[in-house]
Structures are given as structure tokens and as C-alpha cells.
A and B are shown apart, each in its own frame.
Chain A
Amino acid sequence: MSEPGHTDPLAGVRETLTRRHFLRTGSHLLGGAALANLAAGRPLGSDALGPHFAPKAKRVIYLHMVGGPPQMDLFDPKPGMADWYDKDLPESVRNGQRLTTMTSGQARFPIAPSRFRFDRHGECGMELCELLPNLGKTADKMCFVRTVHTDAINHEPAITFLQTGNQITGRPCLGAWASYGLGSMNDDLPTFVVMVARPTNQEQMQAISARLWAAGALPGAHAGVSFRSSGDPILFLQNPDGVSDAVRRRTLDGIAALNQRLLADLGDPETRTRMEQYELAYRMQASVPELADLTTEGEHTWSLYGEEARKPGTFANSALMARRMVERGVRFVQVYHNNWDTHANVAGRLPDQCRDIDRPCHALILDLERRGLLDETLIVWGGEFGRTIYSQGGVSRENYGRDHHPRCFTMWMAGGGIRPGHIHGETDEFSYNIVRDPVNVHDLHATFLHLLGMDHERLTVRHQGLDLRLTGVEPARPIPALMA
């Protein structure tokens, strides 16, 4: 983990955990390396996998905003639109591009200027919506990409595309690829964890699906493990009522003894794997509750993330949990935050949405930085598409709705090897088409993988006779301008 001359920021935490487990279980059945391989399902001695070169980032926290945030209300100010209020979007701008069937029947496409003020932040001068005051304070640590574009125009295919590189369901997602390519960094937690945060406002929630964190053609062990905010954090983690740790340990010892006998009898190595599997499960029963236990967090945590972070399931809580996870060696943390699908009532909803994420995102960046983890942790924030400058339904100065818009939207990144304080790309005066430096989803994925030390063309899995990869069959390339 640690390179010469650098202290491993995680060494302390890991040492404590390992020592405690050692004491608790008495002995390890197997070495940590074997368990780690079992955890991620990664075979020993496989040379097809990464990292292919020295990584900039070792972990990822991906914050997906389900529904598609309106870029012109948050990150891509278009003050010129004030003069266009309620005028129709010129046909020359739309240029026959397809619309969803929710607005394709509209007689008019009246322009809705953003009703929000934008403020300039940091040395980079990034202009952010007034609803994101905290995020502004870390603008110089972030890389804003205003020109992401996607192929899909409706939620399901668009989220699937952003997460798996293909609009059609069934491909492995980013987190699964990271797990497959890089394996585990710990010996008692999952490699890839998913949290579904609960937004404060739930006016227009969109569907998500467990298929978004499935392993697809990769072995199932690379699928995201859902980390839940109520009940067992991980399904079936807790012993049944009336079963203490001592009882569990005793029966596991019995299982081990009987399996050992079977192993001697049949000689099937599968039996040995089963034994490892049960020991690892037992260790997770201790490490996961420790991970979820926030009583060890000090006051500075709450003042940073806010009191909301105490409530399980909030976005703030998920952000804090994400920090605790990467601290303990979880490779990839995926967080979903919903209710960004503002077909109507942008004015009413956006304040709630921004309040949910503004402070926690800022806190997460600062917290990771203070702990020396930001350099090695890539944070990604973004939705599955943007929204239209014209209003869905009627428009007023005060309120309006916006339909899906795949042709440009803003995502931002922080940490792990990105170019800080960078504002990438430019859209036209309507935030409708890209004028300069378009970034397609496959290039973005190639960039993420590059930061993780992987060549996206070499990270493949054989599936139905093809070498499947995250970035698809068309040429894709990492974008140097986004990287430090």
C-alpha cells in the first residue's frame, strides 16, 4: 500500500481492525491475501487484470444524481437567456434533434431563464448557483465538465449507459469493473458497496434498479453489495435473535471441523473454499457493524457534515459512510440520490435538492483531504443527462419545468488525479449544444479507469465470444485535460 517516503494514511485504522479481529477470532484460518481474493472473487495469478500502470486513484466515490439535474440552474449559467424569456427556442438550435414524447407534442418551446443567481468562486472562478454556497468553497479542488453528452434520452437507458457503458441492461457496471480489475483492498469488507440515499423532497422520484450494480458478465462476486440504512446494513449480516457471538463461533467451529473431515475424505478443493467463505462471513459480522457505528465520530465530523448526517439514509449520512468505507479499504462506493427529475417546479424543488447535497459534498472533499485520502480517492458527481433550456409546460419568471436533455450536462470530479480548479468545455448560449470540448460517456469512463491505473482497452472479460469492455466497441480515449 504505502510507497517509500509516504505514510499510509490508513495504516492506523487497518492495524487496529486487524488486531481486534485477530484477538476476537483467535486465529486466521488463512492468510489475508487469500481472503481478499475470495472477497472479490479474483483468482490468484491472473495476468489479464490491472492495474496496468501506476494508479492516481485507488478508490472511487461515485455520487449519482438520479433524474438529471438542470445544468443551467446549477453549473452552466446563461445570463443571456433573461432576454429570451418565454420566446421560442430557435429551430436552428434544436435542429431537428429528438425530444422525449413528453414534450414532443408541445406547440411551443418557451425558454425559461434560470431564476437563480450565480456566484463566482475560488481562483478558478467557477460560477455556481446560489443554492450551492458550500460547494463553492471547494471549487478550486474540483474539476467541472460542462460538456458531457449521452446517447440516451430517457431515464432507464440513460442511467444504465452512465453506469455500464451500454444503454441495454445486463453489462457490468463501473464499480464491478473496478472490483474485477483491481480486486479488494481489505480482508473483511466488500470491495464494491452501494447506498441509496433518501432525498428530503420526494416529489418526482425515478426508478433505479439493482441491475445498475450487477456484475453482468463478470462473476457475481463483483456485484455491488447494497449497504442499507435500516435493518441489517448488509443483508442477513446479523445473527438470528437469541444467537450470540459465542454461539455463532461455536457452530462455525463445528462446521469447520466437519468440513475439514469432508475435505480429507473427498479431496475437493471446493470444500476448502467453503471454509474460507464462512470465516470471512464471520469477520464481516464484526467489521460491518464497526463500520456503521458513528458513535466514534467526533464533533468536528458533525460540524462539517451537518446534523443531517446523523440520520441513517440521508445523503449527508451516506457521504459520511462513504468516507468511512474508503478509509477501511472499500474500493468503490456508489451513492444514488434521487428526485432530480424536474419536469415541473424547478423553483420549488431545486432548493431542497441542493440542500441535501451541498454541504455533504463539500464536507466529503474536505474530510478526505484532511485525512490524507483525497489524493487517492476519485469523487464523481453527476446525473444521467441534463435538462432543456425550454420549459416543459408553461413558463413564468418564477417557476418552470424542464425536460430531459442528453446533448450537454455538467458533471464534476474531485480528488484522485483529476485536474483541480478546471472548468472544461463550453456550451452554446442556450446550454443546448456543445461548442467546445465535448466529452462522451465512454471517454469519461476511459478517464476514470485511467485514473485507477487501468487501460480501458485491456480491462476486458470474455463474454459470448467477445472481449467485452466498459467503453464499448467504438474507439474511446482518456481525456488528458481532465487529469492533473
Chain B
Amino acid sequence: MVPGALLPLFLLVPTAGLHLASGGVGSGRAAGEVEFGRDVRPILTEHCFACHGPDEAAREGDLRLDEEAAARASGVFEGELVRRISLDADHPAHMPPAELGKPLTAQQVQVLTDWVAAGAPYDRHWSFRTPERPGLPEVQEHEWVRNPVDTFVLARLEEEGLAPAPEADRRSLARRLSLDLTGLPPDPAEVEAFVQDPRPDAYERLVERWLASDAWGEHRARGWLDVARYADTHGIHFDNYRDIWPYRDWVIEAFAADVPYDTFSIEQLAGDLLPEPTIPQRVATGYLRCNITTNEGGLIDEEYKVLYARDRTESFGQAWLGLTVGCAVCHDHKYDPLTQREFYGLSAYFDNTRVPIRDGNAQDPPPILRVTPPEQRARLATLTGELEAARDARAAREVSASQDLAAWLASPEAARAVERVPAGDEHLVVRAAGAGAPAQVVLEGAAREVALEEGASWEEGPSGGGLRSEGASLVLPDAGDFDTGDAFTCSAWVRLQPNDRSGALASRMDMGAAYRGWDLWLQGRRVGTHIIAAWPQQALKVVAKAQVPAERWTHVAITYDGSAKVSGVRVYYDGIEQEVNVEARGLEGSIRTAVPFRLGSRTPGNASGAAVADLRLHARVLDAGEVASLALAPLLSDAVAQGLEPLDEGTRSSLRDWWLRAVDGEWQRWDGEAQRLDGERQAIEASSPTAHVFAEAEGVPMAFVLDRGEYDRRGEQVQPGTPAFLPPMSTDAPASRLALAEWLFQDDHPLTARVAVNRFWQELFGTGLVATSGDLGLSGEFPSHPELLDWLAVEFRESGWRVKDLFRLLVTSATYRQAAGAPAAKRALDGDNRLLSRGPRFRMDAEMIRDTALAASGLLVREIGGPSVRPYQPPGVWEAVAMRESNTHTYRMDAGERLWRRSMYTLWKRAAPPASMEIFDAPNRETCAVRRIRTNTPLQALVTLNDPQFVEAARALAAQALRDHQSYAERMDAMMLGLASRPLADEELRTCGAVLADLRAHYAADPEAARALAEVGESPAAEDLPTPELAAWTMLANMLMNLDEVVTK
């Protein structure tokens, strides 16, 4: 539905007709009585401000109506305004102009006329004034009131001539309360106990019980994760996995522990800037890392730097200020008094960061924090000291080594070392022979000449020169024919172009057969290898972290030990082993292929653009010393002949590095120690999840105003600052994110508390007191109950921002406890229940629908937190859109308990969100979402009818009922109690009984079908139950799971 149709524009109360805010809920007032904020401002905002509002660039006729002084000075209220809006629509002077397409209704003209007649009084937009606790209104039906919430609600109902609904029955109440506080249906036993509980505070006891439950933390966290745009992949291009779930668990713990909302907010926005931040405080800043990121090949860094800061600023505006600050990216805000300059002032707080632009397609792009499990923290602390000591000793040896190196070079040992260069057992050597000549190839000891492919050419390089070509330069059908269990080494000198191209330097790989084979691979000037049986599932891919310098001959090597493991792969630059990123792990099956070995490319055309010289293959692993010797051979012979003196510093340094590694016992001892300790540290880290954290960069935060928001059109430079229309930051506050976060919680801040309270209200009642919960600004809706909103905001602030206290207050109100049913006559007066004349009732969120099925059927695994899981999902959802290279290309379903975790733990891939949740209107988790739109589509019915997750749950629910109860009626009731917290009425029992009779007859006659149905899902089939019987009951459970009542709260 369109927003306009979601909201009741007109209530059919005679006196209320004139006073309707745009999209808002009017309240009854006598004709002629006009309130600016409620009645007039929405009309001006919608129909006038586009040309006569805050945006200077768009202003017409030098008239602005948004500022009282300017409007008065213009004299427009002395007849002109009323005259112009009262003219015939086709009159040229008519306002608003026809081409705006927003004509005023007769009623709106009347409101403006009345307003001008009353002297055109302005007042400040309601949400920009600091809320004050209003007095409680007078009401008639005092007995109905349970707490102040009810007083406000009742006053409004009485004003409209409506009476509240009676209190809901205990079963409905228990179910509603459980779903609202825990996101799960209540256990039938809990419901029964409550129904039977004669104590006057039975309901309050239930409230306390569920507020204290683990599920409370999870359910509240789920709502916040929409706001935080939490997801498990980067979002753009590769859309690889990111290991950010510790932030999600921090949110759960924060709600569970009832961390006050101010602390909760400040730690997420600026936990890193708190004095000596704790690990959880830093983990909280994961909020600022949740934005979508990219690593696309050709990206321009500044463009994304700007986008990231903009997203953080817009999310901040939505989540805490309830304002659409993003509207001021390109120009001053059209409605709110927020200038473009002020937008960039806000964005400056979020832009001074050490978070790199490119996510590296890595699961742990920096800055990160390893959250070490408590039991390993002590060892990690001592380990760090020992590791430093070993590294210091190693470094000291590097300094003191020069003397010994010089002596060694003069010794006979050095001469022998020159000969240590592995020679004679090469599988393949390719050498240059000069311009225009064929290559000199030695394959298994047999020398021959091989003609170059077309387009290949020689250039100056080591060992006689290098080959450069756009395609393959050399093709050898009988070289490099290794299998998975074979060890081999591939080494060469390379000279790279200064670009980020990817391609193979050498390969034996069949691209048409799932890339079977191996290569020496280049990717963004990083060298590595693919060893592939079938890409990407059956493959190893290891790439060095460091880049090879461009335009400089560098020796590179990869070694593989035939183990089919990534730990068996090493990468060397100039003889020095490199740290690597693992991009694929899990090789099984053969890598042998009939395609030839190619130098310079994997296919005839896909070139890396690099020059390659002195390529060698060994059918064994060369050790680090041997690789270093290969790399250093030319230098070493020079040094032995001439000594160190004539060599330049770079060469000497390379030589020293090699000597330390290959010859020097002392260095090797310290290095071995450092490596052992580092290995231990890495093992601890590997078992420690990664938290993505935010970190401030050096220097002072600032930003540029960007013309039309474009990254390359920089205007004025601005300092961090908050908008002028909001209370100033206390003057001694530094220009930091921490100060910004603390500013939100100043006592005079008008927005923070209202925005939070309104959003929490929305979680319970389906719609906020301000329906536009992301926009409390001028174009947002006027509150349905402004005094109530203010009262709650002040209460929330003064009670120390306690979320549980707020929820306790709301759910114990008589307002919340009303029955949801209403006769048609009453519905006609309060169609969408904005007046709260009955209890809340609306279709549950995707997660709650699935969790209800799991909980009622007993399948739900109630484990809190941990890595995200991959439950059932039809094949092809990820594969259809993901890049082959993405590590979230192939959906591998989990097994066992991970299939039945709460839905909030389902791995969220941004390019292809969990299919069944997306169908139920889950937001995309790419940008901040403060409310979910609820639609009804046939695809949703197909999910709950046919998704194996739901069919399996139906079977489990049926099996449970069959085992625990004897009579049909008891069994049916048991299922309904689990799903809807009530037994079936007689008439319903008859309906179900008739369906069941047909189903039983059907499955008794078709045992094959019964078996097929009973086998849906991974949980073990119920062997103890007759299959046709189980099948019939499964379909009955499936039917009940699809009732409107069951998918609705």
C-alpha cells in the first residue's frame, strides 16, 4: 500500500474535520481553533516550503514561510496569502502553483484562513522543543486507568467518543506478552499456570519472568539490528563473508543486562574514545562498521570514503535524531532547518577513521579486535611478552650480523653456497635466448628450443631476459602435469605493471572444466596460487598479503607439499616467505588436466600483463633456504667475487636477509623461537572471534561541503558540529565523536528520548505514536498522542534510560492489555487503531513466524549467540546472483542443531538475504531501517505452506501431539496451544476433525506419499509412529500453522 493509504486521513467525527495534519491523526477541536504545529505546519510543509522554505537555492519570490520573522516582515499575512490561496485554480496568481501538482483542499484553505485571522501565530516545531513532563489530563473512567499511559490514551478516546476495549482474555494476553518480550510464543504450561493463577499480581509476575529471560535480550536485539544495518557480508561486488557477529552478541548482552540506553548508544558511537575502553566497549563500535563496503577492482577510493561517511551520518540521524538528515547531502533540507553545511559538519565526526576504504574481500578487514576467550587471556598476556623478546633478539642479531656476513663471504663456505642453488633436478627451466629467438627449454633434463606464441616478446631481465605478452607466450603440453598428491615448486622472476590486473603468470589449468589444474597467480600485484579440482568448492587458493613492487624485477615462488591443505602452500618474494590470505580451502579430488602448461596466461587471451623470466618448476618442495638461494644467486656470486663494499644498500640488505635465513644459526634460533610463539598466539587468535571495531585516525576531524553531494566537487571545509536548531553542545566539548554521542543525552536534547520511546512503542503497538518513526522533523507525522509521547520521553530520561522499565510500564498499561477484537462500527471510527481503542494486532515479522514454528514444535535450539548459521534454503538463491569468486557464492546448508537456531542467527548475505525472510518484508540490512513495512503477498503463504523448515516443524509438532496425547481432541488442542496458546473451540474441532478424517483416509491409501512427507527435513523421522498417521497429522499441523491467528501477534 502507499503510505497515504496506510493512515486514516479523516476520522468521522463532526468537529474534527478541519484539523488534520498531513498523514497524521487529528484530534477533535472546535472549528476555527487552530494549532500551528498540528494543523498549519503540515500544510505549509507539504504545499509551500518547496519554494518558500529553508532551501535558499529553491526559494521563489524572496518569500520564506518557515521562519516567523521573515514571513511577518514580508507582509504576506496582510491579505496576500489568503487572497492567493483563495483564487480560482486556473488564475495565474493562484497558490500553490498548478505545476507543483499539490493543490490545497477547501479544508486546508480554511485552516490557513483561520490561522491568518488569528494573527498567524507560529511556534517552534514540536519535536525541536525540549520535552517537558505534561500534567495528566482529566478522564471520566478512572477505574480503567492502570498507569499514566492510560490516562493520556483514555482522554483522547473520550474526546473522540470512544470507549476502550475490554481486557483481553488471559490466554491472548499471555501470548501477546510473550511474543512482545521474547519474540517466542509462551510455553503452553506457562499459559496454563497463568490462567490458573489467582494472585492479583499474576500478570506482573509474568512480565517480570519474561523480562528476565535470555530471549528478551535476543528479541530486543533483533529490532536494533535492523537499525544498525547488521549483516554478515560486505555487501558490494564480491560480497564476501565478514566476521562481525561479536557485535551482534554485544547487542544481545546489552539488552539482556539492561544497559541504560545512553550507555548503550555512547558505546556504539564512541566506545573507542572512552578512557581506557574495555573490550566490550570497543566491540560496541562494530555499529560503525556495519555499513556496506566494497573492494571492486576499479573503485575510486575517495568516492567510497564519502559514501561511507554519508551512510554513518544518515544512520546516526535516523536512529538517534529521528531526522532525514540525508536530504541535506546535496542542498539545504527542504523542510527541516538543517543546512547542507551542517550535514557535512555532522559527517565530519564519522570520517576521521583508520578503517580502510577497501574491505579487501577479507573476513577481518582492519581495524579488528580478537575477542579472546577468558580462559586463554592469561596465557596470551605472557605470550605477548615472550614473543616480543624473541623478536627483539632476532632484530638485534640483524644489526650485529654485518661483520659476520663479511667474514663469511670471504670463507670457502660462501663459494660452496653459490653452488647450493638448486640445480640439476628441475622439472622445467625456461630461459631467454635473445630477441626474436625461440625460448630455451629444459624439460626433465632434455634441452630443446620452443617457438614463442604470437605477440610474445623478449625484454631485458634476469638470466638473459624476460617474456612479455598479452596472451600465453609459451605453450608446453608435457610440462607441469602435477596431481593433488604431488609436491611442486614454481618460481620465476617477474616485472609487473603498475595496475591491479589479475591473471595467471603460469598455469596448467582447464577453465572449461571448473578451472581444474594449478597456476602461479597474480591478483592486484599480489602473488599466490590456485590448486583446483573444481572451483570453488574443491580448491585451494592462497595469495600473499603484500604487494610486489611495480616495474621492478622480483623473484617470486610458490611451493606446495602435496597435502591438499592450505598449510602446505608457501609464497615467497625475493626469497622471503610471505604472510598470506586464504581464499579457498577444501581440496579434494584430482587436479590433473590434459590442457597444456602455459606461460603468461591461463587461456589464449587472459593475460596478466607481467613480464616473466627464468621460470622453473621443481617436482618437490624447495625449502626456504633454497628459494632464497634461487632469488639471491646473481647477487651472491657478485658478493663472493667483490665483497660487500661495491654493492648498493638495497642489494646488501637483500643479501643480509638471505644470509640470516639460510646460514646464520643464531638468527635462525631466534626466528624459530619467534615463529613457535607466534604460532601459539595465532592458534589462540584463531579460536577467538573477530570483532570489527572503529578507530579514529590521527589529526583533527573535518569534512568538505560537497557540491550536489559529489565526492569530486569539494567546497568549503567545515569543522565537526551539530545543527544550530538543536541545543548547543556544552562549550568545552571537544570536536569528537564521543562529545557528539554525549550531546544526545544532554537533558535539553529534544529528540533522543522521543525517538527512542517512539520506536519502542512501535515494537509493541505496530505503529509509533509518530507513525513516521524515522522522521520526527517537519515532514514527519504529528504525533497521535503528543502529550503521551512527551510524558514517556521525560519518564525514560529521568528513570535513567532504563529500557526494561519502559517496557514494563507499557505492557502493564490497560491500553496494552485491551482485547484486539472490535465491532465494525468501532473500526469505522478507529480503522488503524491509532487512537488505541483496542489491543495491538498485526502480522508478525519474518523471524517471529519462523521462531514460533520452531518453538511450538520443540525443534528450537535455545543457544545464545555465536557464529551465524545456515538453515534450510532452496538451492540457487545465492548462486544465482553471487560472483564465482565470492566466498558466499555457494550456500552450504548446516547440519544438526544449527538448522533450528533462532532466525536472528541466520547468516545474512546482503546480495541475497535469507529467502524466506525477504519474502516477509525483512529490510535489506544495507541501510538503517527503523520500521518494517508489512505487506501481504501470496509468496508469503507459499513459505509457511511449503518451506521444508515449516513442514518439518509441522511434523515435529504432530509427532509430539501423537506421543503425548490419546484422543484426537486432545492432540489437536495440544497443537493449537503450542501455536496460539488456546484450545480449539467446538466448532473448530469439528472443522479440524473433518479435515483430519480426509487426510487419514488419503494417507492410509497412499503410504508412499505418507513416507515422502514424513521424510521432509533433516531431523530424524519418528520411527515409533505409524507413517500414514503421522503424515495426516503433519498436514493438520501445517494447516494450523498457516492460520491468520498463528502468523499474527
- Which A residues are closer than 8 A to B by beta carbons? 38-39, 41, 43, 46, 48-49, 98, 100-103, 105-107, 153-156, 168-170, 196, 202-203, 205-211, 214, 219-221, 225-226, 228, 230-232, 234-244, 246-248, 250-251, 253-255, 257-259, 261-263, 265-271, 273-275, 277-278, 280-281, 284-285, 343-345, 347-349, 392-396, 398-400, 403-404, 457-458, 461-462, 464-466, 473
**Contact, CB under 8 Å: B1031 / A259:** no
Tell me which of A202, A246, A250 contacts B884 (CB under 8 A).
A202
- Known: A234-B942, A241-B1016, A464-B775. Contact between A247 and B999, CB under 8 A? yes
**Contact, CB under 8 Å: A261 / B987:** yes
**Contact, CB under 8 Å: B1002 / A235:** no
**Contact, CB under 8 Å: B941 / A278:** yes
Residues of chain B from 601 to 644 with CB closer than 8 A to chain A in the complex = 603-607, 609
Bound together, the chains give a CA A49 to CA B603 distance in angstroms of: 53
Bound together, the chains give a CA A255 to CA B1047 distance in angstroms of: 12
**Contact, CB under 8 Å: B941 / A102:** no
**Contact, CB under 8 Å: B821 / A257:** no
B2 contacts A by Cβ under 8 Å:
yes
- Known: A209-B911, A271-B1044, A277-B941. Contact between A461 and B470, CB under 8 A? no
Interface centre among B101, B468, B1043 (most CB of A within 10 A): B1043
B238 contacts A by Cβ under 8 Å:
yes
List chain B residues, Cβ under 8 A from A205. Answer: 883-884
**Contact, CB under 8 Å: A209 / B941:** no
List chain B residues, Cβ under 8 A from A403. Answer: 298
Interface centre among B5, B470, B774, B919 (most CB of A within 10 A): B470
Tell me which of B235, B239, B471, B916 contacts A236 (CB under 8 A).
B916
- Which B residues are closer than 8 A to A by beta carbons? 1-5, 23, 101, 235-239, 292, 294, 296-301, 307, 324, 326-327, 330, 334-335, 454-455, 468-471, 497-501, 503, 511, 550, 603-607, 609, 712, 772, 774-775, 777-780, 820-824, 827, 841-843, 874-877, 880-884, 886, 910-913, 915-916, 918-919, 921, 924, 926-927, 933, 935-943, 945-948, 951, 985, 987-988, 991-992, 994-995, 998-999, 1002, 1008-1016, 1031, 1035-1036, 1038-1039, 1042-1045, 1047-1048
**Contact, CB under 8 Å: B1043 / A255:** yes
Find the B residue at minimum CB distance from A341: B297
List chain A residues, Cβ under 8 A from B875. Answer: 230-231
List chain B residues, Cβ under 8 A from A48. Answer: 2, 4
Having A101-B500, A394-B455, A394-B609, one finds 16 other A-B pairs with CB under 8 Å, namely A102-B297, A105-B499, A153-B300, A154-B299, A202-B884, A221-B937, A236-B916, A242-B1011, A254-B1036, A277-B937, A277-B938, A277-B941, A278-B938, A344-B470, A344-B607, A473-B330
Query: What are 22 pairs between A and B in contact, CB < 8 Å?
Result: A46-B2, A169-B926, A203-B511, A207-B886, A210-B911, A211-B911, A221-B936, A237-B942, A240-B1016, A254-B994, A258-B988, A259-B1045, A262-B1045, A278-B938, A278-B1042, A280-B941, A344-B606, A349-B605, A394-B470, A462-B2, A465-B772, A473-B330
Find the B residue at minimum CB distance from A228: B876
Give 10 nearest A-B pairs by CB, closest first: A100-B298, A345-B605, A242-B1013, A465-B779, A242-B1012, A209-B911, A281-B941, A281-B938, A266-B821, A241-B1012
List chain A residues, Cβ under 8 A from B824. Answer: 267
**B516 CB, nearest partner CB in chain A, Å:** 15
List chain A residues, Cβ under 8 A from B1011. Answer: 242
Bound together, the chains give a CA A97 to CA B57 distance in angstroms of: 29
List chain B residues, Cβ under 8 A from A457. Answer: 101
Find the A residue at minimum CB distance from B913: A210
List chain B residues, Cβ under 8 A from A107. Answer: 497-498
Interface centre among B2, B5, B772, B948 (most CB of A within 10 A): B2
Bound together, the chains give a CA A259 to CA B1041 distance in angstroms of: 12
Tell me which of B3, B913, B1035 contacts A251 (CB under 8 A).
B1035
List chain A residues, Cβ under 8 A from B511. Answer: 203
List chain A residues, Cβ under 8 A from B999. Answer: 247, 250-251
**Contact, CB under 8 Å: A207 / B995:** no
List chain B residues, Cβ under 8 A from A239. Answer: 945-946
**Contact, CB under 8 Å: B1010 / A396:** no
**Contact, CB under 8 Å: A226 / B296:** no
Determine chain A's interface SS by DSSP, over half rule. loop
Bound together, the chains give a CA A154 to CA B297 distance in angstroms of: 8
List chain B residues, Cβ under 8 A from A244. Answer: 1002, 1009
List chain B residues, Cβ under 8 A from A49. Answer: 2
**Contact, CB under 8 Å: A284 / B938:** yes
Bound together, the chains give a CA A396 to CA B1042 distance in angstroms of: 64
**Contact, CB under 8 Å: A39 / B938:** yes
Find the A residue at minimum CB distance from B985: A261
Bound together, the chains give a CA A278 to CA B938 distance in angstroms of: 6
- Known: A225-B939, A461-B2. Contact between A345 and B1044, CB under 8 A? no
List chain B residues, Cβ under 8 A from A262. Answer: 1043-1045
**Contact, CB under 8 Å: B1 / A168:** no
List chain B residues, Cβ under 8 A from A348. Answer: 603-606
Bound together, the chains give a CA A243 to CA B999 distance in angstroms of: 10
Find the B residue at minimum CB distance from A195: B880
**Contact, CB under 8 Å: B777 / A465:** yes
**Contact, CB under 8 Å: B937 / A41:** yes
List chain A residues, Cβ under 8 A from B1038. Answer: 251
**Contact, CB under 8 Å: B607 / A267:** no
**Contact, CB under 8 Å: B327 / A465:** yes
Interface centre among A156, A231, A398, A464 (most CB of B within 10 A): A464
List chain B residues, Cβ under 8 A from A465. Answer: 324, 327, 334-335, 772, 775, 777-780
Tell me which of B298, B604, B780, B992 contacts A404 (CB under 8 A).
B298
List chain B residues, Cβ under 8 A from A211. Answer: 910-911, 924, 926
List chain B residues, Cβ under 8 A from A236. Answer: 874, 916, 939, 942-943, 945-947
**Contact, CB under 8 Å: B296 / A155:** yes
Bound together, the chains give a CA A294 to CA B327 distance in angstroms of: 49
Tell me which of A168, A243, A458 contacts B307 (CB under 8 A).
A168
List chain A residues, Cβ under 8 A from B296. Answer: 154-156
Bound together, the chains give a CA A268 to CA B951 distance in angstroms of: 28
**Contact, CB under 8 Å: A219 / B823:** no
**Contact, CB under 8 Å: B324 / A464:** yes
List chain B residues, Cβ under 8 A from A207. Answer: 236-239, 881-883, 886, 911
**A272 CB, nearest partner CB in chain B, Å:** 9
List chain B residues, Cβ under 8 A from A105. Answer: 497-500, 550
**Contact, CB under 8 Å: B327 / A277:** no
**Contact, CB under 8 Å: B946 / A237:** yes
**Contact, CB under 8 Å: A102 / B499:** yes
Bound together, the chains give a CA A79 to CA B2 distance in angstroms of: 53
Bound together, the chains give a CA A186 to CA B927 distance in angstroms of: 33
Bound together, the chains give a CA A271 to CA B1043 distance in angstroms of: 9
Bound together, the chains give a CA A170 to CA B991 distance in angstroms of: 45
Bound together, the chains give a CA A343 to CA B607 distance in angstroms of: 10
Bound together, the chains give a CA A102 to CA B939 distance in angstroms of: 42
